[in-house]
């Protein structure tokens, strides 16, 4: 099927509006079949030169999860130290991770040295390999939301330390740490907006040349 | 609406399967209202700290398009020089851009110095600003496909030169050059796969820790 209905167009917009960065999860587990259906979205993700450079690691053990949470705690303390006054007070009250609760946690890496794709398209912009991983994650996020799951992207981490702690190849660069589970509540408004940290723009300016 | 039907789940998977990197476009123009509907997807894209760092530039003038095409031609010659033997012969036959034909062409940048979001989430991983731009582009790509449009992401470019030629702020980093238009043909198989350059993996290995 290569023609898409107006229902699909509208549903897609709804999905994007209700796809949020989720940091508050219920404790009930995620069915493996549902998770697998979401992970299958990686198979249709775009990648530069068909390099498919995504590498997915699932954190199940206590040691792996503890090292990741400690990594966040340390990076978050550093981040807080960079704010002052009201902004610092507000920052300290924000819930910025669901790592304590989320039943499924994935670290998604980019294999910077993959030979797949033979480097096509990545000569002058090698960062497009990492961008391919981001595109795959974005697809995963939308599919997860379509199944009712929430996804939270944690970036307040020392990426090199996380890679070392999880004993992955030094050629792998952390792109995202994802918390996945059933959200406590649904919202079409970002939590940072509700907390008064920042607003979204209501329009997209386009410059012409 | 925060509950999504199985029809939407299935439609989304179809959409991802038929979303391709398109390099062969028909010459008929894209209706501005359709393009605008696609661009509106940026408004619901995720961004680190709500920084919304995407900056969209549309190339309409002959000078802007000529400089971009020249940039591609030069970068592509450099890329070809990196291959030898059969791979070089195959590379030289690939059609890697629709820049000569695509009616709409966008250069999408990341404003690395935006103050929006006050740096939240981007302290230890500043590259997440660029990743936010990639997520927005991925959403745009899917919405465009839902409307029947094809999008081709060109990365065989000198990004700094493109920014200078288009006279954008030095704080802006090129993330993607997008060709947009009605595709000559639809396919659920990547052009690089059909041309014998590379295959896709049929499964996603997940490592556990």
* Predicted pLDDT of residue A109: 98
Q: Are B123 and A157 an interchain contact pair (Cβ–Cβ within 8 Å)?
A: no
pLDDT of residue A3: 85
β-strands A206-208, A172-181 pairing: unpaired
B27 vs chain A: nearest CA distance in angstroms?
20
**Residues of chain B with C-beta less than 8 angstroms from the C-beta of A121:** 96, 155-156
ipTM of the complex: 0.97
Determine the pLDDT at residue B3.
85
CA dist A175 and A109 (Å) reads 5
Which residues of chain A lie closer than 8 angstroms to B188, CB-CB? 2
Contacts of B120 in chain A (CB under 8 A): 79, 91, 94, 96, 192, 197-198
Q: Is A128 in Cβ contact with B43 (below 8 Å)?
A: no
Query: What's the confidence (pLDDT) of residue B185?
Result: 92
Contacts of A184 (CB under 8 A, 6+ apart): A24, A25, A26
CA separation for the pair A107, A178 (Å, rounded) = 6
CB B134 within 8 Å of CB B47: no
Architecture (CATH level 2) of domain A25-189: 3-Layer(aba) Sandwich (3.40)
Q: Give A179's contacts (C-beta < 8 A, 6+ positions apart).
A: A22, A23, A25, A97, A98, A99, A101, A102, A104, A105, A151, A152, A154
Query: Do A137 and B135 make contact, defined as CB atoms within 8 angstroms?
Result: yes
- B7-39 pLDDT, tens per residue? 999 999 999 999 999 999 998 999 999 999 999
Interface test with A, best of B35, B68, B108, B139 (most A CBs within 10 A): B139
Looking at residue A181, what is its pLDDT?
98
Contact A116, A54 (CB under 8 A): no
Residue B85 pLDDT class (50, 70, 90 cuts): very high
Residue in chain B nearest A16 by alpha carbon: B44
Give the span between the Cα atoms of B152 and B101, in whole angstroms.
11
Instruction: Say if CB B21 and CB B12 are below 8 A apart.
Output: no
Question: pLDDT digit string (tens) for A120-178?
Answer: 999 999 999 999 999 999 999 999 999 999 999 999 999 999 999 999 999 999 999 99
Predicted confidence (pLDDT) per residue in B117-141, tens digit: 999 999 999 999 999 999 999 999 9
Determine if the pTM surpasses 0.95. yes
Q: Is B198 close to A50, i.e. CB distance below 8 A?
A: yes
Percent of chain B scored above 90 by pLDDT? 97
pLDDT at B1 over 80: no
Q: What is the radius of gyration, based on Cα positions, of chain A?
A: 18
Nearest to B135 among A40, A134, A156 (CB): A134
Q: How far apart are CA B77 and CA A52, in angstroms?
A: 24
> B156-176: per-residue pLDDT in tens?
999 999 999 999 999 999 999
Find the angle CA(A195)-CA(A138)-CA(A190) to the nearest 5 degrees: 10
Average pLDDT over residues B68-94: 97
3-state secondary structure of A143: helix
Both structure tokens of A50: 């068909």
- B87, B121, B206: residue with CB nearest A39: B206
What does each of the 209 residues of chain A score in pLDDT, given as a tens digit?
568 999 999 999 999 999 999 999 998 999 999 999 999 999 999 999 999 999 999 999 999 999 999 999 999 999 999 999 999 999 999 999 999 999 999 999 999 999 999 999 999 999 999 999 999 999 999 999 999 999 999 999 999 999 999 999 999 999 999 999 999 999 999 999 999 999 999 899 999 99
Residues of B in contact with A178 (CB under 8 A): none
Interchain CB contacts (distance < 8 Å): A and B: 292
pLDDT for the residue numbered B2: 66
Q: What is the DSSP letter of A133?
A: H
The bridge status of strand B104-111 relative to strand A104-111 is: unpaired
> Do strands A172-181 and A104-111 pair parallel, antiparallel, or not at all (unpaired)?
antiparallel
User: What's B20-191's CATH class?
Assistant: alpha beta
């Amino acid at each position: 099927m290569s023609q898409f209905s107006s229902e699909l167009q509208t549903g897609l917009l709804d999905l994007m509006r209700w796809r949020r960065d989720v940091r508050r999860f219920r404790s009930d587990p995620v069915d493996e079949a549902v998770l697998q259906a979401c992970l299958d979205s990686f198979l249709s993700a775009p990648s530069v030169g068909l390099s498919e450079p995504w590498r997915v690691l699932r954190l199940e053990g206590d040691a792996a999860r503890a090292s990741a949470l400690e990594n966040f705690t340390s990076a978050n303390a550093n981040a807080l130290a960079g704010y002052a006054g009201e902004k610092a007070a507000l920052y300290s009250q924000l819930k910025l991770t669901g790592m304590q609760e989320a039943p499924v946690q994935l670290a998604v890496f980019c294999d910077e040295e993959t030979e797949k794709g033979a480097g096509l398209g990545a000569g002058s912009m090698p960062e497009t390999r990492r961008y391919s991983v981001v595109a795959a994650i974005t697809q995963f996020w939308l599919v997860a939301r379509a199944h009712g799951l929430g996804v939270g992207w944690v970036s307040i981490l020392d990426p090199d330390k996380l890679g070392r702690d999880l004993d992955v190849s030094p050629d792998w660069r952390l792109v995202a740490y994802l918390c996945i589970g059933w959200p406590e509540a649904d919202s079409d408004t970002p939590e940072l907006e509700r907390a008064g940290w920042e607003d979204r723009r209501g329009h997209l300016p386009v410059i012409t040349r």
